[in-house]
Amino acid sequence: MAEMRKIPVEDLKPGMCFDKPVYIDSNNMLVGANISIKEDDIKKLMKWGISSIETSGNLISTEADLQFKQKIDAAKAVDVREIVTDYNNLIKRRKNLILVHRETCAEVERIHNAIRSDEKFTLEKLGEALDSIIRLMGESSNVFIFLYGLDEGKNYLVVHSVNVTFYALLIGIALKYTPARLRELGLGTLLIDAGMLKIPNYIIHKQSNLTDQEYNVIRTHPLHGYKVLKQLGNVDERIAIVSLQHHEQYDGRGYPRGLKGHQIDEYARIASIADSYEAQISSRSYRKKQFFYHAMRNLLSSGVNKFDPVILKVFLSRMSVYPIGSLVELSNGSVGVVVGSVLQKPLRPIIKLIFDSQGKRIEGTVILNLLEEISLYIVKALDEDEAGVNFLDVL
Tell me the three-class secondary structure of the chain, residue by residue: CCCCEEEEHHHCCCCCEECCCEEEECCEEEECCCCCCCHHHHHHHHHCCCCEEEECCCEEECHHHHHHHHHHHHHHHHHHHHHHHHHHHHHHCHHHHHHHHHHHHHHHHHHHHHHHCCCCCCCHHHHHHHHHHHHHHHHCHHHHHHHCCCCCCCCHHHHHHHHHHHHHHHHHHHCCCCHHHHHHHHHHHHCCCHHHHHCCHHHHCCCCCCCHHHHHHHCCHHHHHHHHHHHHHCCCHHHHHHHHHCCCCCCCCCCCCCCCHHHCCHHHHHHHHHHHHHHHCCCECCECCCCHHHHHHHHHHHCCCCCCHHHHHHHHHHHCCCCCCCEEEECCCCEEEEEECCCCCCCCCEEEEEECCCCCECCCCCEEECCCCCCCCEEEEECHHHHCCCHHHHC
Q: What is the pLDDT of residue 43?
A: 87
264 and 340 part of one domain: no
263 and 376 part of one domain: no
What CATH number has the domain bearing residue 202?
Answer: 1.10.3210.10
Mean of pLDDT over the chain: 88
Q: What is the pLDDT of residue 219?
A: 94
10 and 49 part of one domain: yes
Q: What is the pLDDT of residue 75?
A: 47
Q: Tell me: pLDDT of 177 over 90.
A: yes
Question: What's the pLDDT band for 141 if we cut at 50, 70, 90?
Answer: confident
343 and 363 part of one domain: yes
Furthest-apart CA pair in the chain: how many Å? 96
Range name among 2-16, 66-80, 122-136, 175-189 with the lowest pLDDT average: 66-80
Question: What's the pLDDT band for 120 if we cut at 50, 70, 90?
Answer: very high
212 and 123 part of one domain: yes
- Mean pLDDT in residue range 58-82: 59
- Mean pLDDT in residue range 318-346: 89
Span 242-260, pLDDT tens digits: 999 999 999 999 999 999 9
215 and 236 part of one domain: yes
Q: Tell me: pLDDT of 108 over 80.
A: yes
306 and 331 part of one domain: no
Domain boundary among 275, 293, 319: 319
Q: What is the pLDDT of residue 362?
A: 93
24 and 98 part of one domain: no
- Which range of residues forms the domain containing residue 175? 94-319
Between CA 30 and CA 53 the distance in angstroms is 8
Give the count of domains, the chain. 3
Q: Tell me: pLDDT of 276 over 70.
A: yes
138 and 273 part of one domain: yes
Neighbours of 296 (CB within 10 A): 23
Question: What's the pLDDT band for 2 if we cut at 50, 70, 90?
Answer: low
pTM, full prediction: 0.78
